């Protein structure tokens, strides 16, 4: 249906970028950034996922309906993270409960 | 003209069919097999609990019994039951289409389901799993020496069948509606399946990845959930329930769709507040994703998160209650007949209400501390899943059986069976509320002697219930061979499915219908106002 044909060079660029980010993930894993370790790792993962969705899955050239579908999938992920974090971030706020 | 049953003979014409109606029957056969397998495990559980001592099996075997019972019933019976059988068969017909949008994907979903089922059977035959259907870590990854990975893969694989079904339904409902079949003319059965499909697509990937992570931790010792490896066991519970609470709505929403149809049909009245009932399905699907933390109030979740999840859990009861009130208002002053489907629908109304209300008890943190992991929980969810979802499934199966098979089932026997199911059900599960309140924990095979009377009642009830479930098996099978031929519209009710022959031809409609009004419009009887 989406008849868009992207140039091969674009796919190559995206692929190389993904590989660079993979290397970056491995590299930062050797540094202890404390709380930021997770944030950096998740940040890199999000960028990579976005690249895959936009280019490899052709969403960049797709209809608005496809965008709605993709965004709601992402929104659901935010629900998982958001409500999940409501637990992790508020552990131990009440005296005598576990951290 | 041949109908869909006579159009093509031989095994290959079934196993390679792309007809949504035949695929529905493939599903019917396979989920029925799993239902009776799951029932056998339940029978052994109830047999063991007849006496306080562990005299039928060891505690290890008992753990495997309730695990296999849960895995089979949840993933291989309840989740596919109504969508894959009745939804598959009737959604295209109800919207005036010749098939689902992707007939091949529909067939693929059945094969995927069967493959997942085979993994589970292999796990069962190879010695079973003992983690509970919840696969809680770190036990499932670090301690259990049973077939966790095989069973987990079974769940992982079947998940894809569910995703494919959901995808197919959503695309079908968007793209395949007959001319004039606008969104607000859709039968409520279709609305509830639309909502169910959203949950299937948005939730199932999470459980799939979660059980895969369990397999990874178990097989490769990568620390994800096991604290000994630096993981977090509560993370597993968050991920598991992020899917599995919405999954309980995968089971109940389609049943609610059936009840909407049956209540209108046997009250000869349009549903009270159509759009409220339609949108409450969507509301349930969405809010259902925000409440999962109510399963982990006492597992180490923070107190504040518990409060948030408690409040959100109260919210999800509102759209469910909207439906129950609207069905009741539909029956009110209707021209009610008490055929078997309607008897099941009445059963649903009462039992679902009890299940839902006890859900609110459990969503209250203070009370949950007392009854968490007791038989109260078991009673709560069986009131909804067995009293609600299976009642809805049976209501739908009876209601549409003449259309599916082209034969009438024996009405007298069916009413009798409906009563047996109702009595057997309550005798089985009501004592479990009391047992749980008194403190009998779930998942133990021995118990203090003072709990025996209630357990004997429950086991007796389970025996009655089993008879109630076997009866329809017998008379449905009998009716295929010896039942009276069903006319096009045996109940004299509205709906596109009743305007085509029984059983329908392969292409459903010889001429594509053009829809000019709501397909369930009963003669515009005078609107009856409540209190007026
Ligand atoms: C009115 C909406 C509902 C509310 C507020 C509610 C609330 C709860 C709560 C708080 C628990 C956890 C109790 C505990 O473990 O201590 C629970 C367990 C459960 N509920 Fe519900 N529930 C609702 C509807 C449903 C429905 C519709 C189903 C099924 C179709 C269902 C199936 C289950 C199951 C299977 C469990 C136990 C899972 C396990 O631990 O094995 N519930 N419910
Ligand atoms: Cu829940």
Segment (H or E) for A36:
helix A36-51
pLDDT digits (tens, 9 = 90+) for B204-250: 999 999 999 999 999 999 999 999 998 999 999 999 999 999 999 99
Within-domain flag for B3: no
Query: Given pLDDT bands bounded at 50, 70 and 90, which one contains residue B523?
Result: low
Find out whether the beta carbon of B309 lies less than 6 Å from any atom of ligand 1.
no
pLDDT score, position A3? 62
DSSP B227-292: GGGT--HHHHHHHHHHHHHHHHHHHHHHHHHHHHHHHHHHHTSPPTTHHHHHHHHHHHHHHGGG-G
Hey, how many other C-beta atoms are within 10 angstroms of the C-beta on B496?
22
Percent of chain B with pLDDT over 70: 98
DSSP B179: T
Mutation to test the A interface, candidates B289, B305, B316, most A Cβ within 10 Å:
B305
Q: How confident is the model at residue B528 (pLDDT cuts 50, 70, 90)?
A: very low
Do the domain assignments include residue A49? yes
Ligand 2 geometric centre to CA of B164 (Å): 24
Which ligand has its closest atom nearest to the C-alpha of B363? Answer: 1
Is residue A94 in some structural domain? no
Residue B119 has pLDDT above 50, yes or no: yes
Across chain B, mean pLDDT equals: 94
pLDDT in tens, B464-490: 999 999 999 999 999 999 999 999 999
Q: Is B470 left (phi over 0), alpha (psi -120 to 50) or beta?
A: alpha
- Closest by Cβ to A84, choosing from B238, B300, B303: B238
Instruction: Compute the distance between CA of residue A68 and CA of residue A91 in angstroms, rounded to an integer.
Output: 35
Contact B303/A97, CB-based, under 8 Å?
yes
> Which ligand does the CA of B317 lie closest to?
1
Spatial contact of B75 and B482, defined as CB atoms under 8 Å apart:
no
CB B327 within 8 A of CB B525: no
Q: Is residue B43 part of a domain?
A: yes
B309 touches chain A (CB under 8 A): yes
Q: Tell me which of B224, B304, B311, B369 to substitute to probe the interface with A (most A C-beta atoms closer than 10 Å).
A: B304
Ligand 1 mean position, distance from CA B359 (Å): 6
Identify whether B217 is part of a domain. Answer: yes
Strand partners for B441:
B374
| 3-class secondary structure, B19 | coil
- pLDDT, tens digit (0-9, with 9 covering 90-100), for B169-193: 999 999 999 999 999 999 999 999 9
User: Is residue A33 assigned to a domain?
Assistant: yes
Let me know if residue A97 belongs to a domain: no
Candidate from B241, B294, B315 with most ligand 1 atoms within 8 A of CB, to mutate: B294
What is the ipTM metric for this complex?
0.86
In which domain, by residue range, is A18 found? 8-89
User: B266 in a domain, yes or no?
Assistant: yes
Pick the residue whose CA is nearest to atom 4 on ligand 1: B359
Total tally of structural domains belonging to chain B: 1
Measure the CA–CA gap between B324 and B529, rounded to whole angstroms: 17
With respect to residue A54, please indicate whether it lies within any of the assigned structural domains: yes
Q: Compute the distance between CA of residue B172 and CA of residue B167 in angstroms, rounded to an integer.
A: 8
pLDDT for A99 equals 64
Whether A2 maps to a domain, the answer reads: no
Q: What is the mean pLDDT of residues B98-123?
A: 97
Note down the domain range covering B124. 19-499
Q: Quick one: how many helices (H) and strands (E) in chain A?
A: 3, 0
| B20 pLDDT above the threshold of 80 | yes
Contact A87 B242 (CB under 8 A): no
Q: Which of residues 233-272 of B touch A (CB under 8 A)?
A: 234, 238-239, 242
Instruction: Assess whether pLDDT exceeds 90 at residue A38.
Output: no
- For the segment B491-500, the average pLDDT, to the nearest whole number, is 94
Count of C-beta atoms within a 10 Å radius of residue B298: 13
Instruction: Supply B163's token pair.
Output: 């995703």
Split into its structural domains, chain A has a count of 1
Residue B494 belongs to domain with CATH number? 1.20.210.10
On whether residue B519 sits in a domain, the answer given is: no
Q: Whose CA is nearest to atom 30 of ligand 1?
A: B248
C-alpha distance from residue B221 to each of B143, B154, B237, B403 (Å): 12, 21, 19, 53
pLDDT at residue B387 tops 90: yes
Please tell me if the CB atom of residue B248 comes closer than 6 angstroms to any atom of ligand 1: yes
Which ligand 1 atom sits nearest the alpha carbon of residue B378? 37
């Amino acid at each position: 249906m989406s008849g868009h044909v992207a140039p091969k060079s674009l796919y190559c660029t995206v692929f190389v970028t993904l590989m660079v980010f993979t290397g970056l993930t491995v590299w930062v894993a050797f540094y202890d950034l404390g709380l930021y370790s997770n944030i950096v790792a998740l940040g890199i993962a999000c960028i990579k996922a976005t690249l895959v969705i936009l280019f490899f899955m052709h969403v960049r050239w797709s209809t608005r309906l496809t965008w709605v579908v993709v965004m709601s999938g992402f929104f659901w992920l935010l629900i998982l993270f958001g409500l999940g974090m409501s637990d992790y971030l508020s552990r131990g706020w009440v005296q005598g409960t576990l951290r | 003209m041949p109908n869909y049953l006579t159009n093509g003979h031989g095994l290959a014409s079934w196993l390679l069919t792309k007809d949504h109606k035949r695929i529905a029957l493939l599903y019917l056969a396979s989920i029925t097999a799993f239902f009776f397998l799951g029932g056998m495990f339940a029978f052994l559980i109830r047999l063991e609990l007849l006496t306080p001592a562990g005299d039928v099996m060891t505690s290890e075997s008992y753990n495997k019994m309730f695990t296999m019972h849960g895995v089979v019933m949840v993933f291989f019976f309840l989740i596919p039951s109504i969508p894959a059988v009745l939804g598959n068969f009737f959604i295209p017909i109800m919207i005036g289409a010749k098939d689902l949008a992707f007939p091949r994907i529909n067939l693929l979903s059945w094969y995927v389901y069967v493959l997942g089922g085979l993994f589970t059977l292999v796990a069962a035959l190879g010695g079973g799993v003992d983690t509970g259907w919840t696969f809680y870590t770190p036990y499932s990854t670090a301690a259990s020496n049973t077939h966790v990975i095989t069973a987990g893969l079974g769940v992982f694989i079947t998940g894809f069948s569910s995703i494919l079904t959901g995808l197919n339904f959503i695309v079908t409902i968007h793209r395949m509606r007959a001319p004039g079949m606008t969104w607000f003319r859709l039968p409520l059965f279709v609305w509830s399946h639309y909502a169910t499909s959203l949950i299937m697509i948005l939730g199932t990937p999470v459980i799939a990845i979660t059980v895969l992570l369990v397999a990874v931790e178990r097989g490769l010792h990568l620390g994800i959930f096991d604290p000994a490896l630096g993981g977090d066991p509560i993370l597993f519970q968050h991920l598991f329930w992020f899917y599995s609470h919405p999954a309980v709505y995968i089971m109940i929403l389609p049943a609610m769709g059936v009840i909407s149809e049956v209540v209108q049909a046997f009250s000869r009245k349009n549903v009270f507040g159509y759009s409220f009932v339609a949108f409450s399905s969507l509301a349930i699907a969405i809010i259902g994703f925000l409440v999962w933390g109510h399963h982990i109030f006492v597992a180490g979740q923070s107190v504040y998160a518990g409060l948030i999840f408690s409040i959100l859990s109260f919210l999800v009861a509102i759209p469910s209650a909207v439906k129950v009130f609207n069905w009741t208002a539909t029956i009110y002053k209707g021209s009610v007949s008490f055929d078997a489907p309607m008897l099941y629908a009445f059963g649903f109304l009462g039992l679902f209400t009890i299940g839902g209300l006890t859900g609110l008890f459990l969503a209250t943190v203070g009370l949950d501390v007392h009854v968490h992991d007791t038989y109260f929980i078991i009673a709560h969810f069986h009131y909804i899943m067995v009293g609600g979802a299976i009642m809805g499934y049976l209501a739908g199966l009876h209601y549409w059986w003449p259309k599916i098979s082209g034969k009438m089932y024996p009405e007298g026997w069916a009413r009798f069976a409906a009563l047996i199911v109702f009595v057997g059900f309550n005798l089985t599960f009501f004592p479990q509320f009391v047992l749980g309140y008194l403190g009998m924990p779930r998942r133990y095979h021995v118990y203090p002697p003072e709990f025996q009377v209630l357990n004997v009642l429950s086991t007796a009830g389970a025996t009655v219930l089993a008879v109630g479930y076997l009866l329809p098996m017998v008379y449905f099978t009998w009716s295929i061979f010896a039942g009276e031929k069903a006319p096009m519209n045996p109940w004299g009710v509205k709906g596109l499915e009743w305007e085509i022959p029984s059983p329908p031809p392969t292409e459903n409609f010889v001429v594509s219908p053009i829809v000019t009004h709501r397909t369930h419009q009963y003669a515009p009887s005078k609107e009856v106002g409540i209190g007026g």
